[in-house]
Amino acid sequence: MNKKQISRGMLALLLASIGVAAQAASTWAFTGVTSAEGANAVTSYTGSEGTLKISGAYVASNSTSFTTSGSGTTLLHYSGGLGMASDGTSTPNHAIDNVGNTEMVLLSFSQSVVLTSVGIGYKYGDADVGIFRLNSTTAPSLSSTTATYAGLTAAGWTLVGNYGDLGTDTSAPYTLVNGATTSAAPTASSVGSSWWLIVSYNSALSGTTAKSGTLNNGNDYFKLFGVTTSVCSGSAATDCGKKTNVPEPASLALVGVGLLGALGVRRRKSAAAA
């Protein structure tokens, strides 16, 4: 191998190290994993971005407490996506809804991700959705959190946005959220976390400001078909919440500097030997 080939090889390695900062992407679909409609949903998934665990919770009517265990919190599998039956299994109560109880899905990722789109596979009436992320390195405890906007904020949850009048969308990327672009790529305004809460809209939990559409309490029923995510590396989001396993830009810069230094030493040795 001649000197030019060595230099080119090291330059390619440098460019590859810089390229690690690019965002990986995953689609997490919550349908098709079982043929039995209404069966208990699979609650653990593995993808290119690690693992995802999902769980259900609800706030009973006129309550300020989260219910996180018991049969009412069981997530159910349907062709249209995830549903719950905290207030009955008849249509449309087997969806994620805010009629009676306010139901929600907690997404727990093994590393920090940017949620870029949400897919609704079924809706009845309306589909107004609130999305929160946890700005913490510690797993959430909804059971000890007051089920109000102030309570969620005090526990480290941040409202990413309320999205009104979502339509059904089962082709990834789904309905874009969290500042994602038309290509489902995060932007400088996107934020990340290891924990995300997708709620059937309730103004007591997530206020009255809408990112899109019109918000109404009640008459919201939907089944969560899937979500798309990108690894939160720090370069595509202002705040990643939980630390990630992805090399941060500063680390990548150090690798690049080291490679450039090695390349310079090799050139100096070659010049001295000439």
Instruction: Please tell me what DSSP assigns to residue 271.
Output: H
Please spell the DSSP secondary structure of 141-171, one letter per residue.
Answer: -GGGSBSSHHHHHHTTEEEEEEE-SPPP--S
Does residue 4 lie within any of the structural domains?
A: no
Does residue 173 lie within any of the structural domains?
A: yes
CB neighbours of 99 closer than 8 A, spacing ≥ 6? 87, 93, 218, 219, 220, 221
- Mean pLDDT along residues 77-94: 92
In this predicted structure, what is the pLDDT of residue 273? 53
- Mean pLDDT along residues 13-41: 67
Name the residue with higher pLDDT: 256 or 149: 149
218 torsion bin: left (phi>0), alpha (psi -120 to 50), beta (else): left
What span, in angstroms and rounded, lies between the C-alpha atoms of 156 and 148?
A: 13
Does residue 11 lie within any of the structural domains?
A: no
Does residue 151 lie within any of the structural domains?
A: yes
Does residue 10 lie within any of the structural domains?
A: no
- Host domain of residue 252: 20-258
Instruction: Please tell me what DSSP assigns to residue 266.
Output: H
Does residue 230 lie within any of the structural domains?
A: yes
Tell me the pTM: 0.81
Residue with tokens 């062709």: 79
Does residue 15 lie within any of the structural domains?
A: no
CA angle, 265 as apex, 263 and 271 as ends, to 5°? 105
Mean pLDDT of the chain: 83
What span, in angstroms and rounded, lies between the C-alpha atoms of 36 and 61?
A: 30
Radius of gyration of the chain (CA): 23
Domain count for the chain, please give it.
1
Task: Flag whether pLDDT at 163 surpasses 90.
Answer: yes
Does residue 273 lie within any of the structural domains?
A: no
Please spell the DSSP secondary structure of 83-105, one letter per residue.
Answer: E--TT-SSTTTTSEE-SSSEEEE
Asked if residue 140 has a cis previous peptide bond (ω within 30° of 0), the answer is no
Quick check: 80 and 29 in contact, CB under 8 A?
no
Task: Flag whether pLDDT at 229 surpasses 60.
Answer: yes
Tens digits of residue pLDDT in 31-76? 877 778 999 999 999 998 899 999 999 999 999 999 999 999 999 9
Name the residue with higher pLDDT: 21 or 212: 212
Q: What are phi and psi of 11, to 5 degrees?
A: -65, -40
- Mean pLDDT along residues 4-20: 40
